Structure formats: C-alpha cells, structure tokens
C-alpha cells in the first residue's frame, strides 16, 4: 500500500464526511459511498484485521508498528470525517423531522425505492432459495415494524445496544444504510433526538454496540460476500422492501398536512430522492470504467 501525503488524507477526510452524511440518511449506504470513492476494499480489510490478538501485540511492540499494522492513520482520518458530518447532519435532520415530517419521509421513501433498484441489479442469478429468503426477510422487516414505534420517548438501553450491533453492519454493506436499519428497528427518530440533545448514556450505549457489531460482523460479511454474494444481497433486498411501510409518508398521522400543494412537493421529493441514488450509482459505474 502506497504511503499517503497530507493532501491524500485531506481527501480521505472528505470521503469520510460523505460517508457520514450517507449513513445519516435512510436509503443511502455509507458502504455504497465507500465503493464510489474507492476505499471500500481497504475499509473492509482494515476492519477485519482488528481483533484481540492485534490489541495484545500493542503490549510487546512499539506504538508505530502497532499503528501501522491496524492502518491507524486511515481509520482515524475516516472516523473523524464520518463523526463530524454525522453529528452535524443529525442536528439538521432533527429539526426537519420535527417541522416537516411529511417532506422528510417522502424524500427517504424515494431513497428507499432507488436502493431497492440498486440492490436488485446486484443479484446476478435468481433461484427458488432466493425467493424464499426474499419473502421471509420482507415479512421479518414488516413484522418488526408492526411492534416498534419510530417516535417514542422510552426505549430500553438494551434495545439501543442491540440496534447498534445490527445497524453497524451497514458501514461495510453496500446498498443498505445504518439509518435505514434504524428505521426498520423503529429507533431512527429516537436516536436523532438523543444525538441532538446530547444524551450521553444513549449515545455511548449505541456506539458501544456499533463497535462490537462492526468488529464481529466484518469477517462474517467478508466471507458471505465472497461465497454467497447473491443470497446476501437478497437478504438486504428483503429488509429494504419491508421498510417501505415504516417510511411511508402518507399515513394517518400526517394526513392533516396533506393538501394538494403538499402532495405535489411530497411526490417531487420522492422522485428527487430516487434520482440522487441513481446518479450516485451511475457515477460509480463511470468511476469503475
């Protein structure tokens, strides 16, 4: 791996910024952005190398050797960019969700529709097993949505911890975002408000769960994509399709806001969100070429 210059790290920081923005928005994956900007493989390989054995080596080796082995400069630069943009964008999201929920969820719905299309294209072959898994995952996603409430004042720390473990996989999964997983689990709005209000107990619990999930899943996900690529994307596709019900903007709670003008803007935002993801996908293809 070639050594990076200061300008390389500055560019890497902004790549992290874009990943953070993506992970704050249901429908766009930070993993997809990592693929787009050309750091996906390095990200997966770096995370998969982190384990207790490497940490123990820190005791018997000098810091520089340890830092180089874990690709520390890459990790810290990327994490810094992701964290700054995620925290900043979350504050904007909190305000928008409180004041313009119809329009925000309309935009999210467009992102989800486009993500369904993107993931579907990633599946090369369809067998009976794929269809069975797809319908099971759709049912599972809808079932979770049926007994979780996205806007709630009380969610247990254990559930927040488990949500962090599950959502963290999105950092290294192209196609499905951590925020979309949080929408499915019913804690997206709750976490946005917690970050906006700096509720440290909730935030630390979620981060701790995310770290455990990220370190645990990296090797598993790398193996699944290598050996069961189509089935892995089929699972992702089912979860995303099932999340449509959770993000549907024209429900009874928002019905009082839906005038002809609001409906026009709402549908326009659905289309706008769809176009954004499709443009990202098109840019990725051109970059690959």
C-alpha to C-alpha distance for 141 and 185, rounded to whole angstroms: 8
Q: Look at residue 217 and tell me whether its pLDDT is greater than 90.
A: no
Instruction: Copy the structure tokens of residue 210.
Output: 């995310």
pLDDT of residue 205: 93
- Percentage of the chain surpassing pLDDT 90? 8
pLDDT confidence of residue 149: 46
Residues 6+ apart with CB under 8 A from 27: 108, 110, 111, 112, 114, 115, 177, 179, 180, 273, 277
Q: Cα(215)–Cα(218) distance, rounded to whole angstroms?
A: 6
- 39 — phi, psi (to 5°)? -120, 10
Average pLDDT over residues 260-280: 85
Per-residue pLDDT of 36-48, as tens digits, reads 677 877 887 788 7
Residues 125-152: tens digit of each pLDDT:
899 989 999 999 888 877 766 654 445 5
Q: According to the model, what pLDDT value does residue 269 have? A: 92
Q: How confident is the model at residue 240 (pLDDT cuts 50, 70, 90)?
A: confident
Report how many helices (DSSP H) and strands (DSSP E) the chain contains, helices first: 15, 0
Among residues 42, 51, 1, the alpha carbon closest in space to that of 19 is found at 42
Q: Is the pTM of this model over 0.85?
A: no
Domain ranges of the chain: 6-103+115-288
């Amino acid at each position: 791996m070639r050594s990076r210059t200061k300008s390389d790290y500055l560019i890497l920081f902004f790549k992290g910024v874009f990943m953070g923005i993506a992970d704050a928005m249901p429908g766009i994956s930070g993993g997809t952005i990592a693929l787009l900007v050309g750091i996906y493989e390095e990200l997966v390989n770096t995370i998969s190398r982190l384990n207790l054995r490497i940490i123990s080596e820190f005791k018997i080796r000098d810091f520089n050797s340890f830092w180089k082995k874990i690709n520390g400069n890459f990790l810290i630069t990327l994490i810094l960019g992701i964290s700054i943009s995620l925290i900043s964008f979350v504050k904007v999201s909190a305000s928008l969700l409180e004041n313009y929920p119809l329009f925000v969820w309309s935009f999210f719905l467009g992102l989800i529709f486009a993500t369904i299309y993107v993931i579907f294209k990633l599946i090369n072959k369809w067998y009976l097993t794929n269809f069975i898994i797809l319908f099971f995952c759709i049912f599972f996603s809808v079932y979770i949505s049926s007994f979780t409430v996205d806007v709630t004042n009380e969610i247990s720390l254990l559930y927040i911890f488990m949500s962090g473990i599950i959502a963290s996989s999105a950092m290294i999964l192209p196609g499905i975002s951590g925020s979309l997983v949080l929408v499915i689990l019913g804690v997206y709005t709750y976490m946005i408000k917690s970050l906006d209000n700096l509720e440290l107990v909730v935030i630390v619990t979620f981060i701790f769960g995310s770290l455990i999930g990220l370190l645990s899943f990296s090797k598993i996900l790398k193996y699944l994509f290598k050996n069961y690529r189509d089935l892995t994307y089929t699972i992702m596709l089912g979860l995303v399709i099932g999340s449509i019900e959770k993000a549907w903007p024209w429900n009874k709670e928002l019905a009082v806001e839906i005038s002809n003008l609001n409906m026009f803007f709402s549908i326009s935002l659905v289309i706008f969100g769809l176009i954004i993801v499709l443009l990202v996908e098109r840019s990725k293809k051109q970059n690959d070429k």
